[in-house]
Amino acid sequence: MVRRDDIGRRAPRALAVTLAAGLCLAACGGDGRPERAGGGHDRTGGAPATPAATPTPEPSSCPGGGRLIAAVEIPAVHGDPVRIPEAVIGGQRIPAVTIPGVDIPAQRVPAQCVEHRPAPGGCLGAVSIPGTSIPAVTIPAVRIPGVKARGIDAPAVEQAAVSSKSVSQPAVSSAEVCQSKPSKKGEYVSSVYRSGVYRSGLYRSSAYRSGLYRPRTCNDQGECLPSVSVPSVTAPGVNIPGVSVPGVSLKSYVAGPGQVIKGDDSIAYNIEADVLFDFGEAEIKPAAAAELGKIAKSLGEEVPDRATVQVDGHTDAKGDTASNQALSLRRAQAIVDWLASEGGIARSRLKATGYGETKPASPNTKPDGSDDPEGRAKNRRVVISAAR
């Protein structure tokens, strides 16, 4: 049971709580959440705001000697504002008016790279030219207001907005092509051709907003409105030139223990691993030095001084996949080390890749499923290649 004197003592405390709650609701916008500066509610404890997307960086050079497609700068467009001064006609004040100018920021079509995907020796890697676009531009509408006053009726003069739509070209590409893998020594391997690709040029037409003119107008009392002229504005046309990557080919050859495969813009040396290494090992045989010396000399004669030299290691399918992958990379690295230390090729130009058993030159087994030692021997190889 609650006594009256208890109620009397509790009333001021309850009133204080009520007032505090009311003040909180007032300060918190009515729902108890504190307001942020400038209005709105603090989202502390709520869902996080979505972060802004990070723009893709624009390239200044392209990996692997790829061609850089230069950026295209689109200049800003500017037109000054026009001020019509105040006038008094028949005792009526005609207020001054400022017709807004035109300020369209400069635009930019960013630089891009023609992508040449790496490929093992005996193959021509895929190539692609990325798509591009020129953004739209709009010159806003303009209006010289009309005036009606004593003895004067000057109608409004206006010009609608003028736009030039965006235009774009899709990406174009040509897939990787590879020569057939010989099954035996002395076999003829035919040439292959990777077709060229071309991304046609792109043009965004100019946008032109003609000028406006309101002539000087006077009433019979000699009170006049001055003439008003708003100059024309032009956003010039924009042109992006076409981009072309020519077709290339690998020439035919007759298979042997070590082949030189020359293409229009590349050269590759295919060497059976058994010439270079003992079975399952990654240490170069002393007898292999003569063969590698010939390749180093040929690279010096056939390949530009700064061109990357790719060394690809391959194995047969005997053993587990992970071990074969590791062995192929160790063998490729061993050749890189030899070419750098003994062949006179800068180490910065050399790159080793291990493909393991993933790119066989010949079947590892016979049609009946039995082991094919001769086929596996062809798969154990090292391919050294470079652009010419």
pLDDT above 70 as % of the chain: 80
Rounded (10°) angle between helices 321-341 and 289-302: 70
Tokens of 194: 């990777």
pLDDT, one tens digit per residue, over 104-153 is 999 999 999 999 887 777 788 899 999 999 999 999 999 999 999 999 99
Q: For residues 196 and 375, which has the higher predicted lDDT (pLDDT)?
A: 196
pLDDT of residue 353: 93
Q: How many CA atoms lie within 13 A of 153 on its CB side?
A: 0
Whether 305 shows a pLDDT value over 50: the answer reads yes
Tokens of 150: 């004593």
Average pLDDT in the 255-269 region?
A: 69
Between the CA of residue 194 and those of 52, 143, 188, 296, what are the distances in Å?
41, 58, 20, 27
As to burial, measured by CB atoms within 10 angstroms (0-12 exposed, 13-18 middle, 19+ buried), residue 127 is buried
Q: Could you give phi then psi for residue 265, rounded to 5 degrees? A: -135, 20
What pLDDT band is residue 376 in, cutting at 50, 70 and 90? confident
pLDDT of residue 182: 64
Torsion over CA: 12, 13, 18, 19 (sign): positive
Average pLDDT in the 12-40 region?
A: 38
Torsion over CA: 179, 180, 181, 182 (sign): negative
- Domain boundaries along the sequence of the chain: 248-387
Between the CA of residue 157 and those of 26, 89, 223, 224, 382, what are the distances in Å?
51, 20, 21, 18, 78
Average pLDDT in the 358-366 region?
A: 84
Please name the residues in contact with 49: beta carbons below 8 A apart, sequence gap of 6 or more.
Answer: 43
Q: For residues 215 and 3, which has the higher predicted lDDT (pLDDT)?
A: 215
Angle, alpha carbons 332-334-335 (nearest 5°): 65
pLDDT of residue 279: 83
What pLDDT band is residue 46 in, cutting at 50, 70 and 90? very low
pLDDT of residue 264: 64
Q: To the nearest whole number, what is the mean pLDDT of the chain? A: 82
Average pLDDT in the 38-49 region?
A: 42
C-alpha 185/C-alpha 258 separation (Å) is: 10
pLDDT of residue 374: 80
Q: For residues 142 and 365, which has the higher predicted lDDT (pLDDT)?
A: 142
CATH-assigned architecture of domain 248-387: 2-Layer Sandwich (3.30)
Which helix (H) or strand (E) covers residue 299, if one does? helix 289-302
3-state secondary structure of 283: coil
Angle, alpha carbons 292-295-299 (nearest 5°): 140
pLDDT of residue 256: 56
- The span from the first CA to the last CA of the chain, in angstroms, equals 103
What pLDDT band is residue 258 in, cutting at 50, 70 and 90? low
What pLDDT band is residue 379 in, cutting at 50, 70 and 90? confident
Q: For residues 6 and 227, which has the higher predicted lDDT (pLDDT)?
A: 227
Contact (Cβ atoms closer than 8 angstroms) between residue 192 and residue 373: no
pLDDT of residue 56: 65
* Number of Cβ within a 10 Å radius of residue 252: 12
